[in-house]
Each structure stands twice: as structure tokens, then as C-alpha cells.
Copies of this chain bind each other. A is one copy, B any other.
Amino acid sequence: MTQVAVCGPSACTPQEAETARTVGRLLAERGAVVLCGGYGGVMAAAAAGAREAGGVAVGILSGRDAAGASPDLTVVIPTGMGEARNALIVRAADAVIVVGGSWGTLSELALAQRGGTPVVALGGWSVVDAAGDPVAGPVRAADPADAVRLALLTPEL
């Protein structure tokens, strides 16, 4: 099976939610399991998209129980580990699609890059080195379909 994490802020724009929903739907249509952080915003939208397509969405939560979990999840994993759960989300994923920017989202992007999990970015924050030059890493996608295509190409990404 292929598992793709969709990462992004809980406080997202309507456009980011729409993007995440389309990503979740397209992943499920292609048979991929959708992983996410399990709460609101981009996470809930990705789960809702997966559900629309009859797919499986898994929320790996920071909390000790299911409080605040998206109702569209198939499986809820409350880790009770706080933000250390961000490392679990990307570790369990064959690829990560990032939608939008936040410190939590950036930690997932960085952990994925550190661990060798391919990252596809739809907008969001970027990283520049001390000289002001962009740091190579995430692949930029043009739109949700492109992001899903790139994510499912992995590990040939």
C-alpha cells in the first residue's frame, strides 16, 4: 500500500482547505491511504476529501485522546506525545504533501527532508540559507493533481 501524509496548518485559508480536500480526494481515488495530524484546517480537509472518495484517512494526534479529531477519519491514533507526533506522521508516509505554512507544518517538512521522505509543496513557507539563497529540497507542485502525481511517483521522485 502507499501512504501519503498531507500536512498543513489548522488555521488555514479557505483556498488551502479546498486544495487539501482535492489532494485528499485524489489520493484516495488512486488507492493511497491519507495520513494527517487529525485536527482541523488542512488536516480535516484532507480527511474529508479522502472520505468523499471512499478512502482511508488516518489521523495521528498529538493529544492523549480523540478530542478535537476530525469526524472524517477512518482511524484515530491519539499518541499523547505532543508535537513529537509530527515525526511519526512523516516517518509513516511514503511521501508528504505540504499545503500552506506554519511552524508545525515546517517541522514536518524539515523532519521529512531529514529522514529522506520526499516532500511536495503546494505553496507555503520556504527556506533560505545564510547567504539568502533557497535551500533545495521540497519539489514545488503546480496544483493538487500535480502534487498527487509527484507524490505517487515516489520513491522515483
Q: Which positions in A face B, CB cutoff 8 Å?
A: 1, 3, 33, 56, 58, 60, 64, 73-84, 86-88, 91-92, 101-104, 106-107, 110-111, 113-115, 123-130, 132, 135, 137
Within 8 Å by CB of A88, from B74, B77, B107, B111, lies B77
A92-B77 contact given A87-B83, A107-B107, A135-B125, CB 8 Å threshold? yes
Known: A82-B87, A87-B87. 13 other contacts (CB 8 A): A1-B73, A56-B74, A58-B58, A76-B92, A78-B92, A79-B92, A80-B82, A81-B87, A81-B88, A103-B111, A104-B114, A125-B135, A127-B128
Cβ distance A5 to chain B, nearest Cβ, rounded Å: 11
Q: Name A90's closest neighbour in chain B (CB-CB).
A: B83
Give bound CA distance, A75 to B3, whole Å: 8
6 closest cross-chain pairs (CB), A and B: A84-B87, A107-B110, A80-B82, A103-B114, A103-B113, A106-B110
